[in-house]
Amino acid sequence: MNVADSEVVAAILSDNYQIMTDPKSADLFLMNTCSVRDNAEQRIRKRLRELAALKKRNPQLIVGLLGCMAERLKERLLSEEHILDFIAGPDAYRTLPTLIQDASDGKHAFNVILSIQETYDDIDPIRYDGNGVSAFISIMRGCNNFCTYCVVPYTRGRERSRNPKTILHEAQQLIDKGYKEVTLLGQNVNSYHWNEEDDTIVDFAALIEMVALLSPQLRVRFATSHPKDISDSLIEKIAKHENICSYIHLPVQSGSDRMLKKMNRVYDSTYYLERIAAIKRMIPDCGITTDLIVGFCDETEEDHQDTLKMMETVGYNSAYMFKYSVRKGTKAANDFEDNVPEEMKARRFDEVLNLQQRLALESNQRDVGKTFTVLVEGVSKKSDEQLFGRNSQNKVIVFPKANHQIGDYATVTVTRCTQATLLAD
C-alpha cells in the first residue's frame, strides 16, 4: 500500500520534481511510513538518524515524512526528529507542493487532516520503481473494523471506495503499457462498495470480474481480505476466471475464540474454518496465506495451542507472523494490559515460526512434479541463467532462462523445492 501511495506522490510532484537514483543528488527526500508495528517505526527513526549526515552535506535538502507514522504522531514528530522539515498524513498528498514551499521558506509544515472522501482516483500514478510487469491499484482507502490491537483506522481513516470506472481506466492503462499483472489493494478489499447512479451496487466480486475481463492476459490478485466479508460470490468469481489468481490471503490472527473476541475480529474459529472449507471446495488448488499475532493481551498457553491447531488444520502456504506490540491510541493500549512476558512471546513466536516452516515445506513438496504457468518477473539473484516468477498460487518458482524474457508466461514443471522456493524445468 505504501508503494501505491508513493506512486501517487510521485505523480503529484511530477511537475516540479523527478525521481533520483542517488540520494546525494536529491533536493527533496521523502520517507513514506507504516505504523502497524513498533518495529517499523523504530526502523524509520533509525533511518532518519542516518539521513542527518546527508543533510549535513547538503543543508538545502528538504526532508519530509509521509504516511501513517505522520498521522499517528502528528506535529510531535517535528520536535522529536529535528531533521524533518514537514510531515503529511495519507490523505494530505495533494497539499505536498504547498508543504514543500513552506518548508523551503523555513517553516515547519504539517497536514495530518483525515478525509472521508479522498481516494486520489483522478491521479495516474507514476510507476517509478517496478519491474514493468506487476503493478498495484488502490481500490479503496481506510478501515472500519477497529480491531483492538490495530492503529490503521486512526491513521488511514474510514473506509471509502473508488469509482469502479477510474479503477478500470487505471487497469487498462497498465495493460496498454504492457503490464501483465495487477494487485487490487485495500485494507479490506472484501468490503469494497460502490453505488452507481442507477442504484446498481458494485461489490468486490463484481469489481474483480470487471478487471479480469479487460484482458485474458492480465493476471489479477488482491490484498487483503477480512474473513468476515469473504463471500461465496467472490470465491466463485476466482474459480470461474483463470486469470484471477488462485490465491487468498486471509488473516486469522489467532486460533483462539477468546483471543479473537478480545481482538474484536467479529468471527470465531468455526466460522473461519467454514470459509476455508468453502475456498478449498470451490478452488481446490487455492494458495492460502495468513497473518498471526503471538502474545496478545492475556493470551494463555491454551490460546496459543489453539493457534497452532488452526495452522495445522488449514495448512497455510506461508504466514506473516508477529509478536504483539502495543500501539498507542488503540483499544488494546487503553483498556488491556500487555501482560504476556517477552520471553514467553519469543518462545511462542518460535513455535509458530517452526510450525509454519514445516507447513510451507510440506506444501511445496506436494507441488513437486506439478506443471504451472509462471509469469516471469525477473532474473534469479543466484544466476543470470535462471529466471523467477510466481504461479497463480503466489509461490515463487525459479527455472532456466532458455528463450524467455521478463513479462513472458512460461510453462514449468517443478522438480524439487526448498521451504521458500519451487525449482523447475
The CATH number of the domain holding residue 215 is 3.30.750.210
Instruction: Name the percent of the chain lying above pLDDT 70.
Output: 100
Q: Is the pLDDT of residue 369 over 90?
A: yes
Instruction: Quote the pLDDT of residue 199.
Output: 86
Task: Please check whether residue 67 is in contact with residue 32, taking contact to mean a CB–CB distance below 8 angstroms.
Answer: yes
Query: 10 Å Cβ neighbour count for 328?
Result: 12
Q: Is residue 119 a part of any domain in this protein? A: no
Q: Is the pLDDT of residue 36 over 90?
A: no
Instruction: Quote the pLDDT of residue 110.
Output: 95
- Average the pLDDT over 119-140 and give the result: 94
CATH of the domain at 23: 3.40.50.12160
Q: Is residue 256 a part of any domain in this protein? A: no
Residues 141 and 84 in one domain: no
Lowest mean pLDDT among 21-25, 96-100, 190-194, 354-358: 21-25
The grid coordinates listed for 16 are: 516540479
- Average the pLDDT over 213-236 and give the result: 96
Angle at 264 between CA 288 and CA 44, to 5 degrees: 70
256-268 pLDDT per residue, tens: 999 999 999 999 9
Categorize the per-residue pLDDT at 222 as very low, low, confident or very high, splitting at 50, 70 and 90: very high
Q: Is residue 263 a part of any domain in this protein? A: no
Reduce the secondary structure of the chain to three states and give it as a string.
Answer: CHHHHHHHHHHHCCCCCCCCCCHHHCCEEEEEECCCCHHHHHHHHHHHHHHHHHHHHCCCCEEEEEEHHHHHHCCHHHHHCCCCCEEECCCCHHHHHHHHHHHHCCCCEEECCCCCCCCCCCCCCCCCCCCCCEEEEECEECCCCCCCCCCHHHHHCCCEECCHHHHHHHHHHHHHCCCCEEEEECCCHHHCEEECCCCCEEEHHHHHHHHHCCCCCCEEEEECCCHHHCCHHHHHHHHHCCCECCEEECCCECCCHHHHHHCCCCCCHHHHHHHHHHHHHHCCCCEEEEEEEECCCCCCHHHHHHHHHHHHHHCCCEEEEEECCCCCCCHHHHHCCCCCCHHHHHHHHHHHHHHHHHHHHHHHHCCCCCEEEEEEEEECCCCCCEEEEECCCCCEEEEECCCCCCCCEEEEEEEEECCCCEEEC
Instruction: Quote the pLDDT of residue 21.
Output: 87
Q: Specify the number of domains making up the chain.
A: 4
Residues 137 and 231 in one domain: yes
Residues 386 and 335 in one domain: no
Q: Is the pLDDT of residue 129 over 90?
A: no
Lowest mean pLDDT among 52-61, 281-290, 399-408: 52-61
Residues 75 and 105 in one domain: yes
Q: Which of 337, 366, 395 is the last residue of a domain?
A: 366
Q: Is residue 120 a part of any domain in this protein? A: no
Q: Is residue 191 a part of any domain in this protein? A: yes
Residues 401 and 310 in one domain: no
Residues 360 and 389 in one domain: no
Instruction: Quote the pLDDT of residue 238.
Output: 98
Residues 377 and 333 in one domain: no
Q: Is residue 122 a part of any domain in this protein? A: no
The grid coordinates listed for 132 are: 514493468
Categorize the per-residue pLDDT at 297 as very low, low, confident or very high, splitting at 50, 70 and 90: very high
Instruction: Quote the pLDDT of residue 23.
Output: 85
Q: Which of 324, 346, 366 is the last residue of a domain?
A: 366
CATH of the domain at 380: 2.40.50
Residues 156 and 237 in one domain: yes
The grid coordinates listed for 64 are: 519530509
Q: Is the pLDDT of residue 15 over 90?
A: yes
Q: What integer best gives the mean pLDDT of the chain?
A: 96
Residues 175 and 107 in one domain: no
Q: Is residue 123 a part of any domain in this protein? A: no
Residues 233 and 159 in one domain: yes
CA 141/CA 185 separation, integer angstroms: 9
pTM recorded for the entire structure: 0.94
The grid coordinates listed for 192 are: 469494497
Q: Is residue 268 a part of any domain in this protein? A: no
Instruction: Name the percent of the chain lying above pLDDT 90.
Output: 93
CA 289/CA 320 separation, integer angstroms: 8
Residues 77 and 169 in one domain: no
Instruction: Quote the pLDDT of residue 332.
Output: 98
Relative orientation angle of helices 204-212 and 232-240, to the nearest 10 degrees: 10
CATH of the domain at 312: 3.30.750.200
Task: Please check whether residue 315 is in contact with residue 309, taking contact to mean a CB–CB distance below 8 angstroms.
Answer: no
Q: Is the pLDDT of residue 38 over 90?
A: no
Categorize the per-residue pLDDT at 150 as very low, low, confident or very high, splitting at 50, 70 and 90: very high
- Average the pLDDT over 134-145 and give the result: 96
Q: Which of 111, 141, 160 is the last residue of a domain?
A: 111
Instruction: Quote the pLDDT of residue 310.
Output: 98
- Average the pLDDT over 400-404 and give the result: 95
Residues 138 and 181 in one domain: yes
What domain range is 61 assigned to? 2-111
